Amino acid sequence: AQTVTQSQPEMSVQEAETVTLSCTYDTSESDYYLFWYKQPPSRQMILVIRQEAYKQQNATENRFSVNFQKAAKSFSLKISDSQLGDAAMYFCAYRSPPGTASKLTFGTGTRLQVTL
Amino acid sequence: NAGVTQTPKFQVLKTGQSMTLQCAQDMNHEYMSWYRQDPGMGLRLIHYSVGAGITDQGEVPNGYNVSRSTTEDFPLRLLSAAPSQTSVYFCASSPGTGGNSPLHFGNGTRLTVT
């Protein structure tokens, strides 16, 4: 079974600075998909960014980008120019390829604080 | 667009009571699932379904039942509530059964069992 590990329970960043959240995973599959979700205090789960394992290019969505290291099974999230609205829980998640009735496996989350 | 709708938003039960958490989606998604979220444990999969009439167990299925009689609805039943089932429950759906289809989440149900 796949496992996802987020080793940083809490992180803090100053407004306008850059922060990187870590995620590692364990799998024997060669094709898979990785996601970062944000959960603000409202409890809503919001998709931040996704990455296909077969793509070498790192995904980017505005101020959010990933550093995907397939050999190291690492998938970190970089938030640039941090804003107060970025304060939230961030979850890394893994999903198997289509056709496998695959489940989304989550890490335990990293709580991000943004300070002035 | 309503997306994924969960009801109720909050619920308090006494030990031994039963109840059903409702989940409906209007996006014609094949895949639906239930997760529970507990502090320090992330989201754990309870049950999932890849289409009407098909359900399967996730990581933590004990004490919960599901059914999928229509594409739109995927209710979660607690048969005899226990304090260990105090949690926040999320229903989520996706158009495909895997791959890069992200899950669309409902807003969650906070359940307290006393």
What is the DSSP code string of chain B? ---EEEE-SEEEE-TT--EEEEEEESS--SEEEEEEEETTTEEEEEEEEEETTEEEE-SS-TTEEE--SSSSB--EEESS--GGG-EEEEEEEESSSSTT-PPEE---EEEEE-
Those residues of chain B whose CB sits closer than 8 Å to some CB in chain A are 33, 35, 40-45, 48, 50, 56, 58, 88, 90, 92, 96-103, 105, 107-108
Q: Read off the tokens for B72.
A: 């739109």
Mean pLDDT of B70-75: 97
Residues of chain B found within 8 Å of residue A50, distances taken between Cβ atoms: 100, 102
Distance CA A95, CA B33 (A): 13
Mutation site, A50, A55, A90, A103, interface B, largest B CB count within 10 A: A103
Q: Is the confidence at residue A1, as pLDDT, over 80?
A: no
pLDDT bin (cut points 50, 70, 90) of residue B1 is: low
Strand partners, A38: A46, A90
- Residue A92: CB atoms within 10 Å: 28
Q: Choose between B62 and A31: higher pLDDT.
A: B62
Residues of chain B found within 8 Å of residue A4, distances taken between Cβ atoms: 42
A68 close to A60: Cβ distance less than 8 angstroms: no
Gap from A2 CA to chain B (nearest CA, Å): 12
pLDDT more than 90, % of chain B: 86
Residue of chain B with shortest Cα separation from A107: B42
For residue A101, the model assigns a pLDDT of 60
Residues 6+ apart with CB under 8 A from B104: B3, B4, B25, B27, B29, B92, B93, B94
pLDDT tens digits for B2-42?
A: 799 999 999 999 999 999 999 999 999 999 999 999 988 89
Gap from A55 CA to chain B (nearest CA, Å): 12
For residue A30, the model assigns a pLDDT of 86
Q: Which residue among B90, B98, B105 places its CB closest to the CB of A95?
A: B98
Q: Is A54 exposed, middle or buried (0-12, 13-18, 19+ CB in 10 A)?
A: exposed
CB pair distance less than 8 Å for B98 and A91: no
Matching residue, tokens 């229903």? B91
pLDDT tens digits for A13-70?
A: 999 999 999 999 999 888 899 999 999 999 999 999 999 998 889 999 999 999 999 9
Contacts of residues B49-58 at CB distance under 8 Å and 24 or more positions apart, as own/partner, are B49/B74, B50/A101, B50/B97, B56/A101, B58/A103, B58/B33, B58/B34
Strand partners, B61: none
CB pairs under 8 A between A and B: 68
Q: Read off the tokens for B14.
A: 């006494």
Q: Choose between A72 and A29: higher pLDDT.
A: A72
pLDDT bin (cut points 50, 70, 90) of residue B114 is: very high
- Residue A77: CB atoms within 10 Å: 23
